[in-house]
Amino acid sequence: MKYTQLFGKTLRNVHHGVKSEGFAFLLRGGFVRSNGNGLFSFLPLGNRVIRNLKRLIREEIEAIGGLEVSVPLINPIELWHRSGRDRLVGNDMVRFQDRHGHNMVLAPSHEEAFVDLVRMGLRSYRDLPAFMYQFQLKFRDEERIRNGLIRTKEFMMKDAYSFHRSASDLNIFFPKVFAAYERIFKRCGLDVLPAESGVGYMGGEKAFEFLVPSSIGDDLLIECPQCGYRANKSVAMGLKDFHTDTPLELESVDTPGCTSMEELSNFLGVEKHKLAKTMIFKTMSGLVMAVVRGDHEVSKEKLSRFLGELVLEKADKQDVEQLGFVPGYLSPIDLSSSMPLVVDGTVAKSTNLVVGGNEEGVHLKNANFGRDFESPHVADISMIRPENKCLQCGGSLQEIRALELGNIFKLEDFYSRSMGLYFQEENGKKAYPFMGSYGIGIGRLMGAIAEQLHDKRGILWPSELAPYRFFLMGIGKSDTVRQKVDSIYEKFHTDTLLDDRKESPGVKFQDAELLGIPYRIVLSSKRNQEDTVELYNRYTRQSRLVKLEDIEKTMKELQEKEVLPK
């Protein structure tokens, strides 16, 4: 490619709102442009990176048997009725009607569409396993759009779905995808951390995320450096401490204006771990009350897991009042409602907690589980804190901010049962396949690579992802130099960006660094006299002189060899 024919110029600066350095380089280099909040165009250079990412991912997914297909971005809502997820997903999913008044959605994920596709080809156990993937847009009307490509409304995803005859077949297959994911991220030059994660509205039993530590990530990981335990904070387990005393008598106290744990703790002069926090959540089948200690947060993932159904959100004020509760002073004591009460283990074990009085401005001191309030549902529903110890080895835990790049879910037979996808077993009986689903966000991956792999001058693309492998330029007006440049370009033009601009060498050097092209080849009349060319390595910032007669051979070798910036 000749630079003069390339669309998308480099920029000297971006406005200071852009906090993410990697994203700033992507903008400055002319890789991407924003077209509105959370919406992006990929320019020729950026699109080449995307293409390379896809090629890399195809190689790894097809190496474990994946077949590439494509299902539509738009789904009839009917599909989502059948799985029941139309009621779980909420406002992330854009719904609309076509001109005939048919209800459609922009798919935020494609489990339903794949189940529907597989239905056409699945009759017998002999048709299993099936493993298919696609690169397809997802649309999620995100409430939290941020950091350029990291969190967008519309994004390309590699999503893969596997269908198995049995749970054990799925269990055998699952680690293969896990290993393929590790290879993919490694080839991208990223040190990812696999971690156990929640399942959200994807459903299913077990899930893992692949995350890269990053300050611009939205996830918190809990890790035990001693034994290697690692999980998303939303599902992480740990040894929680609790305090016990001799139970005292239940006592009412006036607590005007204390509707948060912070206020209550300050007002009473009592540490937060001696308070109990009572909250009401919505689920599809109704409301549920949860009690955790004042210094803890409810994990909706853990609560969902315990209930066996997705916890959607906090109940709103009106719902709470309608049930006869006083917002800010919720109490698990004297529950007249039939709503299930789930009590965190730490609350059940602690003594003399302060709980809401279910009366404006009143709390109750010395509440004790088993005496003042009771429930058969005692479970771990609170998030652990970094100061808690590892459940497996007792070691100290640490909290890591990280960015999720991919995930893998064991969906079991949730979708096949709800959507009626079945096959005939050897014995003639009907059976439902066990499913896995496996995603990687392509744009986010590109953003994460730019974020992780850059220096002051620009991006450091791994060689197999770089838009071009060679940046070729000549210095001076010498005709012989130009001819030699042209002759090299001719042989390597598909993998070379030839900077044929009438710019000073400095400008070209700067842009070559910014674009992160791994090798820069410079010919000049000065060097030309010695019949040598300069070969510069973007990662090491070292250059060496190669004899002109050897340069093509050297370039061929460099084309064959994949290199990471580290």
Partner RNA sequence: CGGGGUGUAGCCUAGUGGCUAAGGCGCCUGCUUUGGGAGCAGGAGACCGCCGGUUCGAGUCCGGCCACCCCGACCA
430 vs 477 by CB, closer to RNA: 477
Q: How far is the CB of 67 from RNA (least distance, A)?
A: 37
Contact predicate 496/470, CB 8 Å: yes
- 343 in helix, strand or coil? strand
Q: How far is the CB of 326 from RNA (least distance, A)?
A: 8
Question: Which runs of consecutive H residues, i.e. helices, occur in 230-387?
Answer: 261-268, 300-307, 317-322, 345-349
Q: Which residues pair with 439 in a beta bridge?
A: 159, 407
Q: How far is the CB of 387 from RNA (least distance, A)?
A: 15
How far is the C-alpha of 8 from the C-alpha of 500, rounded, in Å?
15
Q: Is the dihedral of CA 128, 133, 139, 141 positive or negative?
A: positive
Q: How far is the CB of 533 from RNA (least distance, A)?
A: 8
60 vs 301 by CB, closer to RNA: 301
Contact predicate 347/353, CB 8 Å: yes
Q: Is 394 exposed, middle or buried (0-12, 13-18, 19+ CB in 10 A)?
A: exposed
What DSSP string runs through 386-409? TTSBPTTT-PBPEEEEEEEEEEEE
Q: Where on the chain is the footprint of RNA (CB under 7 A)?
A: 9-20, 28, 34, 36-38, 143-148, 216, 259-261, 263, 277-281, 294, 297-300, 314-317, 319-320, 327-328, 330, 383, 457, 475-477, 502, 504-507, 509-511, 513-514, 522, 524, 526-527, 534, 536, 543
Q: How far is the CB of 501 from RNA (least distance, A)?
A: 8
118 vs 555 by CB, closer to RNA: 555
145 vs 431 by CB, closer to RNA: 145
Q: How far is the CB of 94 from RNA (least distance, A)?
A: 13
Amino acid 239 reads L
28 vs 454 by CB, closer to RNA: 28
Q: How far is the CB of 160 from RNA (least distance, A)?
A: 28
Amino acid 498 reads L
Q: Hey, which bits of 140-229 come out as E strands?
A: 154-164, 193-197, 206-213, 219-223
Strands 519-524 and 470-475: parallel
- 134 in helix, strand or coil? strand
Q: How far is the CB of 205 from RNA (least distance, A)?
A: 23
196 vs 513 by CB, closer to RNA: 513
Contact predicate 358/329, CB 8 Å: yes
Q: Which residues pair with 497 in a beta bridge?
A: 471
How far is the C-alpha of 34 from the C-alpha of 38, rounded, in Å?
7
9 vs 491 by CB, closer to RNA: 9
Q: How far is the CB of 79 from RNA (least distance, A)?
A: 26
Helix (H) or strand (E) holding 201: none
Q: How far is the CB of 352 from RNA (least distance, A)?
A: 19
Q: How far is the CB of 119 from RNA (least distance, A)?
A: 37
Q: Hey, which bits of 241-285 come out as E strands?
A: 251-254, 276-283
Radius of gyration of the chain (CA): 29
16 vs 430 by CB, closer to RNA: 16
Q: Which residues pair with 211 in a beta bridge?
A: 193, 404
Contact predicate 519/469, CB 8 Å: yes
How far is the C-alpha of 391 from the C-alpha of 367, rounded, in Å?
28
143 vs 560 by CB, closer to RNA: 143
158 vs 469 by CB, closer to RNA: 469
115 vs 448 by CB, closer to RNA: 448
Amino acid 428 reads G
